Amino acid sequence: MKKLQLILGCLTIGVLSSFAQTDFTLSEQLFSRIGINPAGIGNSANVNIFSLNRFQYAGMEGAPFTTQLNVHSYIEKAKSGIGLTVSYDKSGIAYQQIQAKAVYAYNLNFGKHHIFSFGIGLGLYYKSFDPSKHIYNPDPAVPDRFQDETRFDASFGIEYANPYILIGVSMNHIPGYFYEQTTLSSAPSYYGYVRGFIPCSEGFKLAPAVAYYYTGQYHVIDANVTGFIGKYVYVGLGYKTETTGYAMVGFEWNWLRIGYACDVNFAKLSNVAWSSHEFMISFNIPTARGVNGKWIY
């Protein structure tokens, strides 16, 4: 047990020594994108509620844990999407952060099936570090007392969607450009993604995707493909550069979507904890201006 705590302590020190804490990445992120791109709303007038829990390095006491809640909808008369994203991330034993952001996006519709969306997110994040919660060798780069801080946060993004392709780019933690990076700040991060949607037959649709994330410290390329089988089931496979392969499976019924992803770790910790798990539940609640709970992929 102490060995596991020491490993997690070393992970935390590695993050702290590089100053700003990095953003987390999720395997099922493209199912609800406003956490990484405020422009990722407006494809449906329904109210979408998305909740995801990620358990990193399963089996290790004090292992990283992330939870995220997204809520958004679209106002047709204003051609605008509105939403809220809230997340909690525990990175190792001693480090945690909470982020909350309100999101607004304006849509330009070209015909019935082409949507350009320009979004902005404004909010706050809170971070804390408590060195008393783990064991490590003294390091002058690591604070020796409890620290916490709340900072203003902002993001901007653009997204284009039609029935066959989804393209988005965004920049998060924009205020990070204007102050010195510390253990309790968030460095600017960048996201880009392309997702296709290919009807292969009446009962089978294929959705290949490629995403690039720069999370403030690490460059990640995430490639995956998801197959939607009939009306109710989807399965997928993916790979994140140098670290993780993963599989997804999910079930859809009317306004309900349930998903699970299992990541297999190929990095240095694979001999201690080789898997991570994500559990997702999402509700696509019909409104008077909606489309009867239809999912927009």
pLDDT-based confidence at residue 262 (cuts at 50, 70, 90): very high
Whether 141 shows a pLDDT value over 90: the answer reads no
Whether 30 shows a pLDDT value over 80: the answer reads yes
pLDDT number for residue 17: 42
Residues 6+ apart with CB under 8 A from 65: 53, 54, 55, 56, 88, 89, 90
- Residue 188 near residue 172 (C-beta atoms within 8 A): yes
What is each CA distance from 42 to 27, 107, 109, 228, in whole angstroms? 22, 7, 10, 22
- Among residues 149, 166, 145, the alpha carbon closest in space to that of 157 is found at 166
Which has more confidence, 173 or 58? 173
Cβ of 222: how many Cβ atoms within 10 Å?
A: 21
Whether 53 shows a pLDDT value over 90: the answer reads yes
Which has more confidence, 296 or 21? 21
- Among residues 235, 208, 245, the alpha carbon closest in space to that of 224 is found at 208
Whether 10 shows a pLDDT value over 50: the answer reads no
pLDDT per residue as tens digits for the range 178-216: 888 777 888 899 999 999 999 999 889 999 999 999 987
pLDDT number for residue 23: 79
pLDDT-based confidence at residue 291 (cuts at 50, 70, 90): very low
pLDDT-based confidence at residue 294 (cuts at 50, 70, 90): very low
pLDDT number for residue 271: 59
- Residue 100 near residue 111 (C-beta atoms within 8 A): no
Longest dimension (CA), the chain: 62
Percentage with pLDDT > 70 across the chain: 79
pLDDT number for residue 260: 97
- Residue 148 near residue 136 (C-beta atoms within 8 A): no
Mean pLDDT (whole number) for 131-145:
61
Residues 6+ apart with CB under 8 A from 129: 16, 94, 95, 143, 146, 147, 148, 183, 184
Percentage with pLDDT > 90 across the chain: 48
What is each CA distance from 66 to 25, 27, 56, 92, 138, in whole angstroms? 9, 12, 8, 11, 28
pLDDT number for residue 134: 59
Would you say how long the chain is, in residues? Answer: 297
Which has more confidence, 132 or 262? 262
How far is Cα 196 from Cα 204, in angstroms, rounded to an integer? 14
Which has more confidence, 269 or 95? 95
What is each CA distance from 2 to 9, 57, 135, 144, in whole angstroms? 10, 16, 8, 20
How far is Cα 21 from Cα 12, in angstroms, rounded to an integer? 10
How far is Cα 213 from Cα 149, in angstroms, rounded to an integer? 25
Structure tokens at 31: 């199912």
pLDDT number for residue 123: 97
What pTM did the predictor assign?
A: 0.85
Which has more confidence, 136 or 104? 104
Which has more confidence, 113 or 144? 113
**How much is the mean pLDDT over the chain?**
83
